[in-house]
Structure 1
Amino acid sequence: MWWRRSRVRRVLRQVLLVVASVQGATLLALAVVDHRRKKVRKPVVFPRVAPRSVTAGSSEVTVYTYGEDLYRDMLGAIRQARTKIFFETFIWKSDPVGQEFKDALIAAAERGVKVYVIFDEFANLVVPRRFYRFPPSISVRRHPIARLWPGLRNSGRDHRKLMVVDESVAFLGGYNIGSLYATDWRDTHARLTGDIVWDAENAFIDFWNLNRGRRRPALPDVGGLTWQPDMRIHRNIPRNLVYPIRSVYLDAFERASHHIYLTHAYLIPDSDILDSLIRAARRGVDVRIIVPAESNHIVADWLSRGFYGQLLRAGIRLFLYQGAMVHAKTATIDGQWSTIGTANLDRLSLSGNYEINMEVYNADVARQMEEIFRLDSSNTVELTLPAWSRRHAMVKFSETVLTPFRPLL
């Protein structure tokens, strides 16, 4: 009997080795294709909506779909700051746009503004370390690549993009800081004024105090002045094993009765998110999803495509954004509910990273988000089930081979 068990183990090892080899070869081929694709960058042109302010209860929301518009107003807020700036980002490039933000923050600190900066260390490994040298007048926290204590639950990346100035204005959404994002990426960000700014500021304060370590002083933590019935800000906090954004999406999908419009850079849903969208479509909800035809992460594209057949068979409509990377993380449902934030519909965002999303119950905001969705749809090609079924057998095989990597993204 022992030799039979030994032979079975040997066969299993060989099978696993073959599978691993095929997966490795597939990933390598995708990396080569991606490298060649990025070397040939075409001019980027895409439709966009000019920023417009909408009142939501006791707050005001301005939605941005073009980086230059957003950066102009963010830099304007920094240059007008009088008391304090909370600045947090995932990627911060050392290019002209990144340098302009750095210079503006340093200038603010030099005129007496208290400036606090957080950025993710892993996301900026390719950026020269000297770029992140700041004068002592600026309090800086690099979110570390990994921590041994308290273990894996604190290993999430800081994927948030948040800025709060003088307790009067806040910015949050999908935009990182860099020249590429200013003109070549289609993303979505929001400017907030009014009572909701306290929630955004509190989100920064809590993150700073939770992760500041022993050397940095804590920021004052004060209660809010008002409760917000129209808007909420939700935060994923891996260290506390708190991931409300996923629940917010699931609840919104379950409530949908007419339409769900999603725009997401990386669509790799877990089983509950996937089932909730399919159930909505089967009860007659018009579910439409805009995704990039080609994103900046080719492996994420291929993992996402593994879900296309299932979504299309359920009656969900997929639209492939053309000519630019769409990096938005937004949704609007039934003309009443909307969300803008940093969380993608994938496992890394919904159950891994530090994320921040605003949730709005407001028909005017939803109307503006629907207008943006319709304009974005004009720059897409709809993917149909017959067309998707005709893809090459080798493509189908590669998607299957990469399936085990879904939980990693």
Structure 2
Amino acid sequence: MDDKGGYAMLLTWNIIKWLLIAIILLNEVAAIFTVFREKRDIAATWAWLLVLMLIPVIGFIFYAFLGRKLPQRRLERIKSQTQLKLKKAVDRQKTQFQNMPRPKHSTVQTYRRTIMLFQSLDNAFLTRHNHVDVYTTGKEFFAHLFEDIEAATQTINIEFYTIYNDQIGNQLRTLLEQKAAEGVEVRVLYDSWGSMGVRKSFYDGLRKRGGYAAPFLMTHSNFIDFRLNYRDHRKIVTIDGQIGYVGGFNIGDQYLGLVKKFGPWRDTHLRIVGGGVYSLQQRFIRDWNATMKDPADRISHYGIFFPEIKIDKDQPDNDTALQIVSSGPEAPLENIKLGYLRLINAATDHIWIQTPYLIPDDSVLDSLRVAAHSGIDVRIMVPCKPDHPFVYRATQYYARQLANEGVTIYFYQKGFLHAKTVMVDDKMASVGSANVDFRSFKLNFEINSFIYDLEMTDHLEQIFVNDIRDSRVITPEMFAGMSRWLRFKQTFSRLFSPIL
């Protein structure tokens, strides 16, 4: 090669080198600007800086899906929704509890403090007389849900993260079209990302028959508004203002165990008859009205949605006390996470948790550590198989850490475990949509039922005991015996915990 050719090659490499340096410098400046221009907690800030700086350019594609917050105008639509008819009742309850003499019984005192927490955080109304049924399989959940919908005469309100265009999704849609044609007011809220593949036209038949359907706070196209965060993860059904459903199931064939990847699906869902339905109804109406840009499409006639509850209060199985608590990125505090912390910190004997995703923040992690080292029986059950690889490896990492702290870790073997339950001391329990992870605590819209009932808590704990038979205890020694490569993947995934 002559001198001229060598000089040209050297010049080319110099240009490429300086071009790469310029791209990296621009990427670093853009990363700093992008992360710090929006208010977020310090853990998420450092996690996003790590992603954007270590993965130039491509990191910004991840950020477009996972990092962008909801526009302020959408959050304001949620914040602006008042608490409807329950506000005065909650205010009366607050005054009653504040003026109540300190009870001598420790269980009553624990109930009182927890109830007051949710009254303060979320204006959550305590309902004392509820009949609650628990469903753990898709077969029984869908059978009862469809039966109740078929019997509806006035209103059906449905809000789910996922409503798939598959066999069970089409059965539900057909049934809703039938009820709308009969004159029942039918409304459906769904998350546009969770219900991926379902187009606006999927509900055209329902709309033609007088029903309503809309994606929660989002555009109809995920190509335009492609955020993976700030999703509507709630699962709410109310029927005639008398019956309500809340829990972990969505609408899709996989929740019937018909998808080979997951196998049998194990979840926990509640059917509520009683005053708790009012709280579910109110949450749905607030979400619906926040979604509707046109005031004419909003619900303004509340009477039909809050009828007198038909329940025999003298029946012994109709006395479950509960509060419905919701949380989301529009709230100043992480209501459900604080509720979990309250339950954990109130425990004196045992804490049993089921969650598909175990990615706790430091506050929850430390509370579980304190409980375990204090001699409290802490047990956590997670799935043995992933549905999101990074999330599953991060779950394994935290399970390993907690196992080393004395927490008993179960890997559920019989299919996929999707239940989100917390049970404490045979006294209190929580069932709902919120996982024990950053996403449920900070990023998504969630709803849980917090239950104050010895028999119902005992029933949920018995379900946990039955699930142990289909689970495997993973000891610290077994975690230590995992391959270095697997442990590296767990540790690496944990770095992104605040944004998973």
For the superposition of Structure 1 and Structure 2, which TM-score range results when normalised by the shorter chain? 0.7 to 0.9
Pick from 273, 291, 297 the counterpart of residue 193 of structure 1: 273
Pick from 367, 381, 384 the counterpart of residue 293 of structure 1: 384
Q: Percent identity of the aligned residues?
A: 29
Query: Stretches of 4+ moved more than 6 A in 1?
Result: 15-18, 222-226
Q: RMSD between aligned alpha carbons?
A: 3.1
Paired with 1:63 and 1:364, the residues of 2 have a C-alpha distance of 12
Paired with 1:245 and 1:327, the residues of 2 have a C-alpha distance of 18
More displaced 10-residue stretch of structure 1: 328-337 or 131-140: 131-140
**How do residues 48-127 of structure 1 correspond to structure 2 at under 5 angstroms?**
57-127=128-198
2:214 maps to amino acid:
R
Q: Does 1:398 align with 2:489?
A: yes
| Structure 2 unmatched runs, 5+ | 1-20, 29-49, 63-126, 258-263, 310-318
Deviation at residue 69 of structure 1 after TM alignment = 0.5
Q: Does 1:342 align with 2:433?
A: yes
| Paired residues of 1:265 and 1:344 also in contact (CA < 8 A) | yes
Residue of structure 2 equivalent to 1:165: 239
Deviation at residue 154 of structure 1 after TM alignment = 12
| Paired residues of 2:136 and 2:269 also in contact (CA < 8 A) | yes
Deviation at residue 295 of structure 1 after TM alignment = 2.7
1:177 maps to amino acid:
I
Q: Name the SS for the 2:436 alignment partner.
A: coil
**How do residues 200-349 of structure 1 correspond to structure 2 at under 5 angstroms?**
200-214=280-294, 216-221=297-302, 230-349=321-440
| Paired residues of 1:155 and 1:238 also in contact (CA < 8 A) | no
Q: 1:115 to 1:225 in 2, by over 3 A?
A: closer
Deviation at residue 221 of structure 1 after TM alignment = 4.8
Q: TM-score scaled by structure 2? A: 0.68
CA displacement, residues 21-70 of structure 1 (integer Å, 9 cap, x when unaligned): 9x99xx9xxxxxxxxxxxxxxxxxxxxxxxxxxxx941111000010111
Residue of structure 2 equivalent to 1:37: none
Q: Name the SS for the 1:238 alignment partner.
A: coil
Paired with 1:178 and 1:363, the residues of 2 have a C-alpha distance of 33
Q: 1:273 to 1:95 in 2, by over 3 A?
A: same
CA displacement, residues 144-184 of structure 1 (integer Å, 9 cap, x when unaligned): 4479xxx9x99611001110000110011100001220233
Paired with 1:294 and 1:154, the residues of 2 have a C-alpha distance of 22
1:200 maps to amino acid:
L
Pick from 156, 180, 196 the counterpart of residue 254 of structure 2: 180
Paired with 1:237 and 1:20, the residues of 2 have a C-alpha distance of 30
Q: Does 1:135 align with 2:207?
A: yes
Which one has a larger percent helix, Structure 1 or Structure 2?
2
Q: 1:146 to 1:282 in 2, by over 3 A?
A: farther
Pick from 432, 446, 450 the counterpart of residue 355 of structure 1: 446
| Paired residues of 2:360 and 2:438 also in contact (CA < 8 A) | yes
Deviation at residue 395 of structure 1 after TM alignment = 1.5
2:284 maps to amino acid:
F
More displaced 10-residue stretch of structure 1: 61-70 or 205-214: 205-214
Q: TM-score scaled by structure 1? A: 0.82
Q: Name the SS for the 1:391 alignment partner.
A: coil
| Structure 1 unmatched runs, 5+ | 1-5, 28-55
Deviation at residue 140 of structure 1 after TM alignment = 1.5
Q: Name the SS for the 1:206 alignment partner.
A: helix
In our comparison, the structure showing a higher alpha carbon Rg is 2
Q: 1:180 to 1:248 in 2, by over 3 A?
A: same
Residue of structure 2 equivalent to 1:156: 230
Which one has a larger percent strand, Structure 1 or Structure 2?
1
Q: Name the SS for the 1:122 alignment partner.
A: coil
